Amino acid sequence: MPSNRTNRITGLLLDVPGDGRALHERLTAAIRTAILAGRLGPGDALPPSRALAEELSCSRWVVNEAYTQLVAEGHLTARQGSGTRVAPDVPARPAVPPERTSTRAPSPVAADLRPGAPDVAGFPAAAWSRAMHHVLATGGGADVFPPAGGVRRLREVISGYLGRTRGVAVAPEEVVVTCGTTHAVGLLAGVLARRSASRLAVEDPGWGRLGDAAAHAGMAVEPVAVDGEGLDVGKLGRTGADAVLCSPAHQFPTGAALSAERRRALLAWAAERSAVVLEDDYDAEFRYDRKPIGALAALDRDNVAYLGSASKTLHPGLRMGWMVPPAHLRDPVIRALERSGAGPGVFDQLALARLIGTGDYDRHLRRARTLYRERREAVLAALYGHAVIRDAGPVEGIAAGLHLVLSLPPGHDDRDVADRLERRGVAVMPLSRYTRRRLRPALVIGYGRLSPSRASFAAAEIAAVLEGRPRR
């Protein structure tokens, strides 16, 4: 039987070895390899023996022998009425070579406290479906091949949204649609690097992926310390940076808001040096204790590039964001987009425009704020119910966003604590993961995906690890 014959029924390439063994043994090996490689998954049906024999130009006996052997090995199941199928408990991927096998299997996650993502189960699927149906039914309008800056309708609704909710008064032409904040930072850093801006200051601790995007675009990245008032502008002034990336409304991961005094100092620094402030406004929609602080770009359009996205409010998988660059950078950014050809799909842009324009986006945000506020309160109550946590100091971060910072008692290493919690089914991130300098030990706790009913369990596990109690 020839090697590399494709079965038209399963669509699987059966690589039958030509090693001199009997034909049924080689077919057995080929099907076994397809299963272990994941090309046939648990529960997948194999064709009837007669059909496979015809396809492979061999006798039906050869196929039956192969099936019988694989059933005996536990790779296949054969039942009257349901045919021959891959067994439900076979591995879905190749076994890891022995030298790379982990010494312990990862524990199942019972409580997910990792920061950085919203509750995607709360995505407004019905509203999004209505918006997308409208777009498809109307044929997408005239923006089949939109300009590099984005679909006109989306730029219109975003300009209105930013003016209404963030205090940034902009015309639609000033809005640039991106694939998210990382994409926007890479674009701006590339433009700045080509204009001889060589150094970008970033917050430390901070979200490292954004600094990586700037470094990839050609800028040297300089960390600047963050404290309870946000970015230390005094230390920024000593870096010689040409631009700075910061999150004034809600710093990640410390949860600090840039104080009014430092906001003024930062804008003065930018004006004096003709530098650019990249304002990452990643979760400003979620403020629970008071009205959100206006965007920095509302105070200075000449030196501040505003960056926003739908990653926290809707779904990271949408890859949808927006940018309002200073006027002198807008054309270079558009040219960079034209060269790269990167940008969200037209239908997704129009669907988001429809979602915002109909008010469904605002309704979703109101529901999400209530949900996340309740989850934050549930986590705080559960944590403060344990003396070992309560005595370590107050939880840090303003009442906003999707995460908070929990200080650990002296003598604990946050990476070690996070590792021990992982073995107990609690996924959490150490603060040291996000910093280049030595800080006090702390955990960054994301509550966006944590059901309130799991908050007590998570807090109890954290307390148990800090007290050195064994797993129950």
Q: What is the pLDDT of residues 118-158, one digit of tens each?
A: 999 999 999 999 999 999 998 766 666 778 999 999 999 99
What local confidence, expressed as pLDDT, does residue 4 receive? 47
C-alpha 204/C-alpha 70 separation (Å) is 56
Alpha-carbon distances, residue 1 vs 5, 24, 35, 102 (angstroms): 9, 10, 20, 40
Mean pLDDT value across residues 69-77: 85
C-alpha 280/C-alpha 36 separation (Å) is 45
- The rounded mean pLDDT for the chain is 89
Look at residue 7 and tell me whether its pLDDT is greater than 50. Answer: no
What local confidence, expressed as pLDDT, does residue 144 receive? 67
- With the C-alpha atoms ordered 262, 268, 273, 274, is the resulting torsion angle positive or negative? positive
Helix, strand and coil content of the chain, in percent to the nearest 5, comes to: 45, 15, 40
Q: Which fold has domain 123-358?
A: Aspartate Aminotransferase; domain 2 (3.40.640)
Look at residue 10 and tell me whether its pLDDT is greater than 60. Answer: no
CATH superfamily of 111-117+363-467: Aspartate Aminotransferase, domain 1 (3.90.1150.10)
What local confidence, expressed as pLDDT, does residue 50 receive? 85
Look at residue 2 and tell me whether its pLDDT is greater than 50. Answer: no
Q: pLDDT band for 117, please (50, 70, 90 cuts).
A: confident
C-alpha 326/C-alpha 300 separation (Å) is 9
Q: Which distant-in-sequence residues (6+ apart) come within 8 Å of 374 by Cβ?
A: 452
C-alpha 70/C-alpha 33 separation (Å) is 11
C-alpha 216/C-alpha 430 separation (Å) is 26
Mean pLDDT value across residues 283-297: 89
Q: Which fold has domain 5-86?
A: Arc Repressor Mutant, subunit A (1.10.10)
What local confidence, expressed as pLDDT, does residue 112 receive? 93
**β-pairing, 426-427 with 442-446?**
unpaired
Look at residue 97 and tell me whether its pLDDT is greater than 50. Answer: no
What local confidence, expressed as pLDDT, does residue 160 receive? 96
Q: pLDDT band for 40, please (50, 70, 90 cuts).
A: confident
Does residue 335 come out as left (phi exceeding 0), alpha (psi in the -120 to 50 range) or beta?
alpha
Phi, psi of 227 (to 5 degrees): -130, -160
Look at residue 199 and tell me whether its pLDDT is greater than 60. Answer: yes
H or E element, residue 245: strand 243-246
What local confidence, expressed as pLDDT, does residue 342 receive? 81
Look at residue 98 and tell me whether its pLDDT is greater than 90. Answer: no
Break the chain into its structural domains and give their ranges.
Answer: 5-86, 111-117+363-467, 123-358
Give residue-wise pLDDT tens across range 300-355: 999 999 999 999 999 999 999 999 999 999 999 999 999 988 889 999 999 999 99
Q: Decide: pTM greater than 0.85.
A: no
What local confidence, expressed as pLDDT, does residue 435 receive? 92
**β-pairing, 321-324 with 304-309?**
antiparallel
